[in-house]
Amino acid sequence: MILIAIGNTHTQIAHTEDGRNFRVERRPSGAAIAEILAGLPSPWSSWLAEEPIYLGGVVPEREALWRACLASGQIRDWDAERFHALLPNAYEPPQSLGFDRRCCLLAAARDWPDRNLLVVDAGTAITLDLLADGRFHGGRILPGLGLSLRALAQHTAQLPTLSPQSCAVDFGNSTEECLLLGVTAGAAAAVDAALRDGRRRYPDLGLLLTGGDAPLLQARLGQGELVPNLLLRGFFLLTSVT
User: Is the separation of the CB atoms in 143 and 9 below 8 Å?
Assistant: no
User: Is the separation of the CB atoms in 129 and 138 below 8 Å?
Assistant: yes
The residues near 185 (Cβ < 8 Å, ≥ 6 apart) are 220
The residues near 191 (Cβ < 8 Å, ≥ 6 apart) are 118, 120, 126, 128, 207, 217, 221, 224
In three-state secondary structure terms, 53 is strand
Residues, the chain? 242
Max CA-CA distance within the chain? 57
Q: Which residues are catalytic?
A: 100
Across the chain, how many H-helices and E-strands are there? 9, 9
The residues near 100 (Cβ < 8 Å, ≥ 6 apart) are 5, 7, 57, 58, 121, 123, 127, 231
User: Is the separation of the CB atoms in 164 and 184 below 8 Å?
Assistant: yes
Residue 203 identity: P
How far is Cα 20 from Cα 4, in angstroms, rounded to an integer?
A: 15
Q: What are residue 219's phi and psi, to 5 degrees?
A: -60, -40
Q: CA end-to-end span of the chain, whole Å?
A: 17
